[in-house]
Structure 1
């Protein structure tokens, strides 16, 4: 799970990822020696220019780029939409079940200005078992740049992170999802394998939702 559930891949987890794809609330990149157009632009305000060339190329291709390990993750995706549309989707807490992977319900339970608490129910599918979990997450909004989130209640030791919104152009935005998660599960390798798959799926789903809104 991630901020909106709650959202990198180490070599020893590769054997889990194929069998556990599509579970839990969520790239192995080929090397390239060619600088992308975004890198060549090199604008001081370009949030992508400082990233490695292979990550830039993957983002430009539409992929979600996941880095990190063992509960410390950063996932990015580039979307073709204005900042206002991105913000609308990332703060649509009552409708996360419509596009968040494995979320079956989501609703705001507390609303105090820029601080919202929302409750989600999500389903974990892993090999021979299916498990339903309920979590409450507090989100603090700093319009239009960032949404910080943390676990209020749920079956995790801890969860916290942020969504960051960085405009690349008037109708192009880099979305960055950073999260730190510590499970209660004894089999942490299994948990992280599931979580990593879901985190990539989450960013792809957010991209799709944002770009659908943008053309309405």
Structure 2
């Protein structure tokens, strides 16, 4: 009997196992990531959770508002007076110091008192022009910068910075964001952005510390 050429020989058992196992592992990983995204992008709290001190770091959550909407919320205690924190979160020309995915940002105050903020937002799911008008409110109780301006693929674009006095030489900084971007599912957008909130808040605190005037 002639020898069977290697090319016609039946596959080795190990090879066959690998051909089955590798796709199964891939499917399991993708399924786990999808499940993680669904849970992370949908699980919401009814109550706002803010840190009690700077030692608590950043607290980020998906918050369910009284109107039934879901918005992302992050908070941090910054060791600096509110005026200095406010100066950083409204320094629109240098927003890339806080948001690494924003480039060429620029803020111009319009005659109606609103700030016109432009730039480009980049992420692994796409690029979008940033064009919105921000309302500033300043009082003895708090500073707030808010916007509600959908445009283009951004079907919902609503958010705010809220800066309030917390204690001696400290500030509570809160960031709220509600975003819907077509054609992506809402839970995907929320899951991705929730992962970016903590670095953003820490970047603000670091920038405030960096800009601290000499004693």
Q: Which structure 1 residue ranges, 5 or more long, are not aligned?
A: 1-10, 18-49
Q: 1:98 Cα deviation (Å)? A: 2.6
Counting matched residue pairs gives 167
Runs of 4+ residues over 6 Å off in structure 1: 11-14
Instruction: Work out which structure has the larger RCO, using CA pairs closer than 8 Å and 6 or more positions apart in sequence.
Output: 1
Corresponding residue of 1:61? 55
Q: Which structure 2 residue ranges, 5 or more long, are not aligned?
A: 1-31, 39-46, 64-68
Q: 1:80 Cα deviation (Å)? A: 0.6
Q: Distance in 2 between matches of 1:155 and 1:172?
A: 38
Corresponding residue of 1:136? 131
Q: Is the 8 A contact 1:115 1:140 kept in 2?
A: yes
Asked if residue 100 in structure 1 is aligned to residue 95 in structure 2, the reply is: no
Q: 1:173 Cα deviation (Å)? A: 0.1
Q: 1:152 Cα deviation (Å)? A: 5.3
Q: Say which SS state the counterpart of residue 179 (structure 2) adopts.
A: strand
Please state which structure has a larger fraction of its residues in helix: 2
Cα deviation digits, residues 72-103 of structure 1 (max 9, x gap): 12210110111111111111111112331311
With the length of structure 2 as denominator, give the TM-score of the two structures: 0.66
Q: Say which SS state the counterpart of residue 100 (structure 2) adopts.
A: coil
Q: Distance in 2 between matches of 1:137 and 1:208?
A: 26
Q: Say which SS state the counterpart of residue 149 (structure 2) adopts.
A: strand
Cα deviation digits, residues 162-182 of structure 1 (max 9, x gap): 211111124200001122222
Q: Is the 8 A contact 1:136 1:154 kept in 2?
A: no
Q: Distance in 2 between matches of 1:111 and 1:142?
A: 15
Question: Structure 1's 51 and 178: CA in aligned 2 closer, same or farther, altered over 3 A?
Answer: closer
Question: Structure 1's 181 and 132: CA in aligned 2 closer, same or farther, altered over 3 A?
Answer: closer
Corresponding residue of 2:188? 190
